[in-house]
Structure 1
Amino acid sequence: MLLNIRILTAVLISAFSSYSSVAMISLEKFVSETLGLTKLPPYLSLFFWSFIGFSFVHQVLGPWCSARWFPSSYGAKGRSAKNNWSIHVVSQVHVLIIIPMALWCIWNESPEWSQDKAFGWDSRVGYVHAIACGYFLWDTLDAIINFIDPGFVAHGVVCFCIYLMGYTPFVAYYGVRCLLWETSTFFLNNHWFMDKTGRTGTRAQLINGVFLLGSFFFIRIVYGGYISIQFFHTLLQIRKSVPLTHVIIYGSGNFVLQGLNWFWFFKMITSLRKRFDTTGERAQLLSTDNQHSHSTIDIIPQTQG
């Protein structure tokens, strides 16, 4: 009897493995030939597990850790506020993973890749984009399921599509560099958590605010502006080699994102000042604790890749 069970188990495992292999081959063919994402097949598994991992943090690990470490601040919140809390946890996890990987990719890039910034490819960028795509897919689905504002849905969809299109390959050189903008998100999330755990207006929040504004200015605005100029130059060079829609969409999108970075920078300064002004303003900020955040700080999407 035991032998029969073992044989049956072995047969089922073999059949499942064969089916999985056939399904994966079909999926890789569809992705590569039909969608034109020729560089994606080797990274499909990482893309899948990235999405599963961020979903697990959102639904299981984040709530468990938050309830254990912040029983008062987290436990007293309603469903929507708890979900918003978990979103920031996922965002922070993403930052801690994607920034080191993006730096690793840039520091070890091949010379050939930097010489062809429009269509060049480096195997390392595939790993970085796969994790980013998994995150943006999770972000998009959460924005749809827990719908708050169409802007959050649009942001997730656009970022997901842009990083997915990097596998054609197209402007992957710039995609991985734009992920460095997430550096400021680390301090942005710290600022948010300090608000929600009763640390508004403290010295720790002030120090974090200095790092937030500094990283936002030097990485998003200064470095981001430099990358944007290079990006526009590359688009002009290849404008006759790609569809006009690519030039218009990527060019206008790049221009809008840089404009938004400046807009958000000044809004952040205003928002941070409120944390250290009168007691009434601080109390008003804390009164939104059980609502989905729409303060100046929180209108900034968690990722601007």
Structure 2
Amino acid sequence: MGDVLSEYAKGLHDACANASRPVADFLGASKLPEHADTIFLSFLLFLAVHQVLAPHFSKKWFPVAYGTANSRGKNNWSIHVVSQVHAVLIISWAWRCLWLEELDKDKVSGWHHRVGALNGIACGYFLWDTLDAIVNFVDLSFVIHGFACLLIYALGYRPFVAYYGVRCLFWETSTIFLNIHWFLDKTGRTGSTFQLINGIALLGTFFFVRLVWGGYISYNFLATLYATYRELPLTYTLVYFVGNVVLQCLNWLWFGKMVAALRKRFAGAPKSSANGKTHNGKAH
């Protein structure tokens, strides 16, 4: 049985590597084929959670909140489940990459196979995220966010700035609390003490992790990019510069929206249902 699984895994790895080489050559991402199977399996995992696992278990565990929602509401629910699974998974794996000596020694082109797996999980998620943002279109900012993240982590297979990529993934810490806030709304706990405590944790993690620490990381990253841009293809310089600025602007935009939403929640706003409009773990 073990030999059969090994042969299957090797066949999948080789097939994904061969299929991804044209993309890797186009992007100049030499490490991508080695981890293309991780991207593929990650995408399938999040697709399965979205389409199968989240609907199945949500119907059992939340028969009222989920069961009475319309089709759009059920899809929003499943999207938040996927977002939560990704946030927990990616933060746990990023923690294992945080103190890698190879990255500390070379913040531009340092590499480790753990980072390849981490990028693969991220690329698989952001591929799913982008496609879902297009299919279930709500706001252009979510399409831009998903595609920008996908491109940035795909180009990281050059290898390029893995040191900063690992640290930026900790931004997802606030997503855990945002999803909890959303589920509390949909299960009739709007304005509860639990939601208040979670809301404080949400604003605190978003402000300190994304805006303060994230801003510090972004500043250092842009300084590194400026120091090395002559050695890089123009595509890399533009994508990483524009992508970094866009993502930081979106963080400030979403922070303002979250503050406004939390004020409304605790100012006597009526309870909402699972049919409300949110997308991919981000309120809007």
User: Normalization by structure 1: what TM-score?
Assistant: 0.83
Contact 2:73–2:275 (8 Å) recurs in 1 = yes
Please tell me the residue identity of whatever aligns with 2:38.
L
Deviations 1:37-95 (A, max 9, x none): 21122212221111111111001100011111110010111111100110000000001
The match for 2:61 is: 69
Please tell me the residue identity of whatever aligns with 2:243.
G
The match for 1:124 is: 114
Contact 1:31–1:41 (8 Å) recurs in 2 = no
Q: Separation in 2 of the partners of 1:171 and 1:20?
A: 28
| Partner of residue 142 from structure 1, selected from 132, 137, 140 | 132
Contact 2:17–2:34 (8 Å) recurs in 1 = no
The match for 1:3 is: none
Q: Separation in 2 of the partners of 1:49 and 1:223?
A: 31
Secondary structure of the corresponding residue to residue 98 of structure 2: helix
Secondary structure of the corresponding residue to residue 28 of structure 2: coil
The match for 1:79 is: 71
What is the deviation of 1:35? Answer: 4.4
Please tell me the residue identity of whatever aligns with 2:166.
V
The match for 1:27 is: 19
Could you tell me which runs of 5 or more consecutive residues in structure 1 were left unpaired when the two chains were aligned: 1-15, 300-305
The match for 2:31 is: 39
Mapping of residues 106-255 of structure 1, within 5 Å: 106-107=98-99, 109-110=100-101, 112-255=102-245
What is the deviation of 1:260? Answer: 3.0
| Partner of residue 278 from structure 2, selected from 282, 290, 293 | 293
What is the deviation of 1:141? Answer: 1.5
Please tell me the residue identity of whatever aligns with 1:71.
P
Secondary structure of the corresponding residue to residue 239 of structure 1: helix
Q: Separation in 2 of the partners of 1:259 and 1:169?
A: 26
Please tell me the residue identity of whatever aligns with 1:94.
H
Aligned residues: 277
| Partner of residue 265 from structure 1, selected from 249, 255, 260 | 255
What is the deviation of 1:253? Answer: 2.7
User: Normalization by structure 2: what TM-score?
Assistant: 0.89
The match for 2:92 is: 100
Percent sequence identity over aligned pairs: 54
- Larger Rg, first or second structure (1 or 2): 1
The match for 2:50 is: 58
Please tell me the residue identity of whatever aligns with 1:206.
L
